[in-house]
Amino acid sequence: MALDADLVAQLTTLLENVREPIELVHTTDDSDKSRELIELLDQIAGLSDKVTARPAQGDERGPRTPAFTIARTGTDVGVTFAGIPLGHEFSSLVLALLQVGGHPVKEDEATIAAVQAVEGEHEFVTYMSLTCQNCPTVVQALDALAVLNPGVTHTVVEGSLFQDEIDREGVMAVPTVTRNGETFASGRMELSEILAKLDEVTGGSGSQAAAAGWRLVTSQGLVPALLPAFYQRALAGVDGRAFPSARGRSALELTDPGSPMERLVSSWQPCPT
């Protein structure tokens, strides 16, 4: 079996936190590594009635073999692993199973607001190795980004199984991340750092603005349910009168007294205490 008895027992308990059905959709062939991957996925699927494993069909087949996508059934939510995520990446696999399965991402509310404010289409690929201690931090951050934001996809590539791709992409160290086919970053990065870098390369600061806005409005005791409308007004203008957009402005500016974000906050009524 791919997993020993202790890991099976731990994973069985953790998979009780899966809320939505998920599928492990694998692109495989007759190679030994593909057989290892199928064995692992079938074993995982046998631990929860909310998890199924099956071969990819038609357009579901990806460009890399062996690989698999953890997909929330009936949705576009998912993350992809090219290779067999054991070793240091087993924790990344477990978190991806839980988060794609609807278990809440363990980030603070301001960071989640920043993730959800990221606009555009972003295709991330992370090159990692199973012995890399810094890789899981990056992998898990980008997995969370992909789960929380429908404009983001993330594929994790085990470099040792795809050496030709490593050479073609000029990857010199792991973790290395590409975005839309271009080098994005290398080395250990937390989710907040990835968001700041993403704002930098896209020429805006929408995600940082959202995080700053969340901190500001929650400090004023506003009703959480009103926050989506708050962000919409902050970025588009209030009552049809546009003011300087949150995009392109620093988080510091957005928390300065008299800034458009703070003036907008003052227009809301605080929660009764």
Exposure on the CB side of residue 175, measured as CA atoms within 13 A: 30
- With a CB cutoff of 8 Å and minimum separation 6, the contacts of 67 are 26, 27, 80, 81, 82, 83, 155
> Residue 188: how many CB atoms within 10 A of its CB?
15
Are 207 and 122 in contact by the 8 Å Cβ rule? The answer is no
Higher pLDDT, 212 or 189: 189
**In the prediction, which pLDDT does 2 show?**
77
Q: What's the mean per-residue pLDDT of the chain?
A: 82
pLDDT tens figures, 186-211? 999 999 999 999 988 887 655 565 55
**In the prediction, which pLDDT does 206 show?**
53
pLDDT tens figures, 234-249? 444 333 333 333 333 4
Least-confidence region, from 62-76, 115-129, 170-184, 240-254: 240-254
Q: Which two tokens stand for residue 37?
A: 């991957």
For the chain, first and last CA: distance in Å?
57
**Of 111, 79, 112, the residue nearest 95 (C-alpha):** 79
pLDDT at 135 over 80: yes
Residues forming beta bridges with residue 124, ordered by sequence position: 154, 179
Least-confidence region, from 115-124, 136-145, 163-172: 115-124
pLDDT at 257 over 70: no
Contacts of residues 105-110 at CB distance under 8 Å and 24 or more positions apart, as own/partner, are 105/144, 105/147, 105/148, 107/144, 107/191, 109/214, 109/218, 110/211, 110/212, 110/214, 110/215
Cα-only R_g, the chain: 21
**In the prediction, which pLDDT does 211 show?**
56
**In the prediction, which pLDDT does 162 show?**
98
pLDDT tens figures, 10-51? 999 999 999 999 999 999 999 999 999 999 999 999 999 999
pLDDT at 54 over 50: yes
Q: What is the DSSP letter of 270?
A: P
pLDDT tens figures, 82-110? 999 999 999 999 999 999 999 999 998 88
